[in-house]
Copies of this chain bind each other. A is one copy, B any other.
Amino acid sequence: MYAQLKRHLLKDVDFNHDEIQAFTNLLSHLKLNKKAVLIQPGNTVTKEYYVLKGCLKAYYIDEAGQDHIIQFAIEDWWISDFEAFFNAKPAQLYVECLEETELLGLNKLDLEQLYQTIPKFERFFRLKVTKAFVALRNRVLSGLQNNSKARYKEFCEQYPHLEKRIPNYNIANYLGMSPESLSRIRNSI
């Protein structure tokens, strides 16, 4: 049993011991090194991943070869190429470890069966995806506002202490600004 995952589950839904156990039984444990690539474009994506420890980035490489970070994931976050996972399409994203990382993988077919036997997990994942949707919409909105300082502050709230763990250029890329602009903003706060 994973105490951290149990807390994560109980934050949103009042699961009992057996329900948590049924969920935990479905998970596969993964240990990955820094720079390991979990998903790459073209992959079939059958799992989403809960982060026990470590840090990952999901990014897209455009036709010009430029990379764009779409999401970070730290402890207690879920990560995958979600379009590939939900819609059974080939992956478009890379998902890569920025630190030594421990994950719990959840298979889509197992999850579908779990929904049938314990419908409370419908609620849990409805709440999770709703939060992800609102966070993404906020990111789109704050990108439109063109206020770099506000965007950086939002980033620090969303990913506490992450700025001490990963290179500046990754954060600048995620925020859509140059590393120099990011340094200026940090110095001004």
Contacts and interface: CB of A to CB of B under 8 A. Distances in A.
Interface in A79-94: 82-83, 86-87, 92
Contact of A60 (B87, B136, B141): B141
A144 B60 contact: yes
Interface residues of A, number: 32
A129 B132 CA distance: 10
Given A82-B134, A119-B122, A122-B119, A140 B141 contact: no
A31 B138 CA distance: 29
Given A122-B123, A125-B126, A140 B136 contact: yes
Interface of A: 60, 62-63, 68, 70, 82-83, 86-87, 92, 115, 119-120, 122-123, 125-126, 129-130, 132-134, 136-141, 144-147
